[in-house]
Amino acid sequence: MGLGVEESAGGTLPDAGDAGFEQPPATEPPFPSLLRYNSPLFQVCLIGFVCFCCPGMFNALSGMGGGGQVDHAAANNANTALYTTFAVFGVAGGGIYNVLGPRLTLLAGCSTYVLYAGSFLYYNHHHHQPFVIFSGAVLGAGAGLLWAGQGAIMTSYPPPGRKGTYISIFWSIFNLGGVIGGLIPFFLNYHRTAAASVNDGTYIAFMCFMATGAVLSLAVLPPSRVVRDDGSGASAVTYSSVSTEAIEILKLFTNWKMLLLLPAAWGSNFFYSYQFNNVNGILFSLRTKGLNNVFYWGAQMIGSVSIGYVLDFSFRSRRTRGFIGIATVAVLGTAIWAGGLANQLRYTNGEWPEKLDFKDSGEKFAGPFVLYFSYGLLDAMFQSLCYWVIGALANDSATLSRYSGFYKGVQSAGAAVAWQVDQRRTPLTTQLIVNWGLTTISYPLLAALLMLAVKDEKQSEGLEEKVRDEAREKRNWMAG
C-alpha cells in the first residue's frame, strides 16, 4: 500500500484518501512532566544523547585532523569511502526508517561507529589502510540510517511552533559529545607536544562511548507512542513497503523543494575537510588540537541555541522568523569566511613551520583559535537553519524522514568529494573560496524555498485540519 501525499503551499500533507496516514487521537499525557518518557522533549533529548555518543565522538575524532594520525592519507581515503556510501544510504535511509521503524534503524546505524574507531586503533599498530577504508564505507551506510532516523524524529516529534527550540536542544546535546570527545585526546596526549599520532587509549575511549550510544538507541519510541503536552500525538504513519519507499525516494530528485535545498545540503559538510585538516590539523600542536575541538563543538552549542531562539521567538510570523534567521546566518557567515581568507593568505603553500600551542605561543595563538571557534559557531547555525526549513515543509514523520534523508545524502556526497579534494592537494585558498561560495549561494535559495513553500502556523494548521476532516468523513461514509 502506498503512502500517498498531495502537495500544498504549506508543505506536504497527508492524502485524505490514503489509510496509510492516521492522525493519532488526542489523548491527555499520563502526567505533565519534563521527564515524561513519551514526551517529544524527552525523546528529542534521548536521540541527542545517542548522537552525543556516536557522531559526537566521531566528530571529535575527525576534528583532530587525519583521525588523530600525523599522515592524513588513511583518514582522507576512509572519509571518501564513508561519505560515498553515506550519500547512498542517506537518501535511502528515510525509506528504510519508514520500513523498520526508529529502534532497528538507529541500532544498525550506531553499531558501525564502534568499528570505525577500532579501525584506527588497528592502524596505530599496523599502518594498513584497507581495513580503515572498509570501516569507513561501513560507517557511511550506518550513518545514513542514523541521521535519517534522527532527522525524522527531530523534525516531526516537536510541536510545529517549537521546532527551532527542539533542534537547538538536540544540537547542543549532540555537540556536547564533541566537547567531551575533544577533552579525551587533550588529556590523554597532554604531555606529547611534538607531532605524533594519538595513543591507543584515545581510540578505546571513543569506542566505549559509541557502544553506549548503540544501547541507548533501543530506548527511542516510535512516533505513534509519543504524546505532546497538549494531549495530541506526534505524526503516526503505518510502516511502509520497500517498493513504495523506493518510488517515493526517486520522486525526491524531481521535487522542486529538494532542488532548492540541494546547494545548502551539498555545502553543509563540504568545509569539514578544510577546517579539520588545514586549519586545526596544520596550525596547532597535538594537545592544542584536542583543546580546540572542545571549543569548536562548544561553539556549536552556542550557535544552535542562538539561531533556535531567532527561528522560534523573534517574531510572531513563522515566515518572518525564517527570513530573519537566513539574513543573520548570511551576514555572520560572510564575516567569518572573510576572516578565514585573511588567515589563509598567511600560509598559501599549506606550510606552517611553528605549531601553535595554547600555553607556549602567546598572542599568536589567539587569532587562529578565534577563527576556528567561529567556524564551529557558523556550522551549527547553518545546519540548524537547514533543518528548521525542512521541518517547516511538512509535519508527518514519513515525509520528513525522506526529506531529511535526501538532505543527509546530498550532504554526504559533497563531503566525499571534499575529502578527495584535500587528498589531491588542491590549493588551500581555492578550497576556502569554494566553501565560502557554496554557503553564499544557499542563502537566496533557502529564502525562495521559505517564500514559496512555507506558510505561517495558523494557515498550515487550517490546511491540516481540513485534510483530517475530509479523511474522517470519507471513513465514516465507507463505514456507514
For residue 197, the model assigns a pLDDT of 66
What are 53's strand-pairing partners?
A: none
Domain map of the chain by residue range? Answer: 40-463
Which segments in the chain show pLDDT lower than 70? 1-34, 64-72, 189, 192-198, 235-240, 457-480
For residue 16, the model assigns a pLDDT of 33
For residue 199, the model assigns a pLDDT of 73
> Contact at 8 Å (CB) between 3 and 237?
yes
For residue 33, the model assigns a pLDDT of 58
For residue 196, the model assigns a pLDDT of 57
What are the pLDDT digits (tens) for 381-406?
999 999 899 988 987 777 887 888 88
For residue 32, the model assigns a pLDDT of 55
Q: Tell me the CATH class for 40-463.
A: mainly alpha
